[in-house]
Amino acid sequence: MPDRIAFIGLGIMGRPMALNLRRAGYDLAVYARRPESMEPLAAAGAMTWRSPAQAAAQAEVIFTMVADTPDVEQVILGPGGVLEGAAPGAVVVDMSTISAAATRVIAGRLEGQGVAMLDAPVSGGESGAIAGTLSIMVGGAVPVFDRVRPLLEVLGRNIVHVGTNGAGQVCKSCNQIVVGATIAGVAEAILLARAAGVDPARVREALLGGFAASRILEVHGQRMIDGNFAPGFKARLHQKDMRIVGEAAAQLGLGLPTAASIAQYLDALVDQGLGELDSAAIYKVLESMNH
Ligand code: NAP
């Protein structure tokens, strides 16, 4: 079982995930663009490094958890990136949400140097990252998945091998369509209740006992009722995910009208300067459309 790990990207998600691996007793090397992001990890006994290449050189398994496709390309393939440091036989596990097509290209580049890759994006948010209860959607070769699985079990509960490289990212796109569509549906339901003079809190309570129940209705429905849109999952990241969905749909020649409408809501939020709010703030866009 691998016990020397590197973790690159220590934001809202990456920091608690890396901390959980360290607390599980693994030998951990970390890299973050801003040195202050590494302080809590250093305090927990992790080694800090000045480049992804240096952190990767110490490790059998290298996790990346950065923002978008170009960021993963930079930390893995760019100057001072993982590819420069990783030893043959190492495994890169990218847990960021990025393009499936780009993932396959990155996996091919790594494979050329004897380094395997898994795409392993997650669902479950900051709270799931802290609690180690993320849902993890994995693409890559089965023997590589089997090797890394004990580490993924530190980070999550529902760990599903979906298929070959890129399949994990496709699965995450599917997740984001369902999440976005449900947020929009819950927003419309709460707006209708309010406009009709019916208490939306009572409506939420009633719906939670029936077929319309969901985590989105429970958590985001409450956010909409309270008007509290502190993140959570930032609208600009959900916008990025719906851009990835749109690109994949275009490549496949698919029309996905619901996904397109979620993307428009998120574009509107970000254009209004509200991209740092939780994506449940789709409610605010719907509300302003109806004034
Ligand atoms: P975040 O808080 O913005 O953290 C991203 C981290 O990556 C930041 O610390 C950032 O460094 C670093 N980074 C970005 N680009 C980089 C680059 N080119 N080189 C080096 N470091 C770079 O975002 P997050 O919420 O942790 O999300 C991380 C990934 O998980 C995203 O793909 C997101 O879509 C996905 N995700 C998030 C959630 C959620 O609820 N937050 C849930 C599921 C999946 P700086 O601090 O220097 O900017």
Active-site residues, by number, are 172
**What band does 278 get if pLDDT is binned at 50, 70 and 90?**
very high
Instruction: Please name the residues in contact with 154: beta carbons below 8 A apart, sequence gap of 6 or more.
Output: 20, 21, 24, 26, 132
Q: CATH number for the domain including 256?
A: 1.10.1040.10
Question: Do residues 158 and 181 both lie within one domain?
Answer: no
CB-based contact 30:41 (threshold 8 Å): yes
Q: Which domain holds residue 269?
A: 170-289
Mean pLDDT for 160-179 is 98
Does residue 16's CB lie within 6 angstroms of at least one atom of ligand 1? no
- Three-class secondary structure assignment of 136-205: EEEECCHHHHHHHHHHHHHHEEEEEEEECCCHHHHHHHHHHHHHHHHHHHHHHHHHHHHHCCCCHHHHHH
Among 131, 164, 197, give the residue marking a domain's end: 164
**Which CATH number goes with the domain that contains 139?**
3.40.50.720
Q: Report H helices in 44-161.
A: 52-57, 69-77, 82-85, 100-111, 125-131, 142-155
For the entire predicted model, the pTM comes to 0.96
The tally of domains found in the chain comes to: 2
Ligand 1, atom 22: nearest CA belongs to which residue? 66
Of 164, 197, 231, the residue at which a domain comes to its end is: 164
Q: Kindly give the distance from the C-alpha atom of residue 190 to the centroid of ligand 1, in angstroms, as a whole number.
A: 31
Degrees, nearest 5: CA angle 48-50-56: 75
pLDDT tens digits for range 113-164 = 999 999 999 999 888 999 999 999 999 999 999 999 999 999 999 999 999 9
Final residue belonging to a domain, choices 132, 149, 164? 164
In the chain, what percentage of residues exceed pLDDT 70? 100
The amino acid occupying position 213 is: A
Q: What percent of the chain has pLDDT over 90?
A: 97
**Are 94 and 119 found together in one domain?**
yes
One domain for residues 34 and 160: yes
* Together in a domain, 61 and 193: no
Q: What is the mean pLDDT of residues 82-108?
A: 98
Q: What is the pLDDT of residue 123?
A: 96
Same domain, 113 and 31: yes
Report the alpha-carbon distance of residue 211 to residue 103 in Å, rounded. Answer: 36
Residues 159 and 196 reside in one and the same domain: no
Average pLDDT, rounded, for the chain: 97
Residue 17 CA to ligand 1 center (angstroms) comes to: 12
Instruction: Examine the domain organization and report whether 138 and 271 are in the same domain.
Output: no
CA-15 nearest atom, ligand 1? 26
- Closest by CA to 145, choosing from 22, 153, 75, is 153
Q: What integer is the mean pLDDT of 40-54? A: 98
Q: What is the pLDDT of residues 232-269, one digit of tens each?
A: 899 999 999 999 999 999 999 999 999 999 999 999 99
Shared domain for 17 and 146, answered yes or no, is yes
How far is the centre of ligand 1, averaged over its atoms, from the C-alpha of 210 (Å)? 35
For the chain, how big is the Rg over CA atoms in Å?
Answer: 20
Q: Are residues 117 and 181 in the same domain?
A: no
The predicted pLDDT at position 83 comes to 98
Kindly report the protein residue whose alpha carbon is nearest to atom 15 of ligand 1.
71
Distance 275 CA to ligand 1 centre (A): 14
40 plus 140 within the same structural domain: yes
CA gap 226, 268 in Å, rounded: 21
Per-residue model confidence (pLDDT) at position 232: 86
Q: Establish whether residue 276 lines the binding site of ligand 1, counting it when its CB lies within 6 angstroms of any ligand atom.
A: no
Same domain, 144 and 212: no
Residues 158 and 180 in one domain: no
Answer whether 107 contacts ligand 1 (Cβ < 6 A).
no
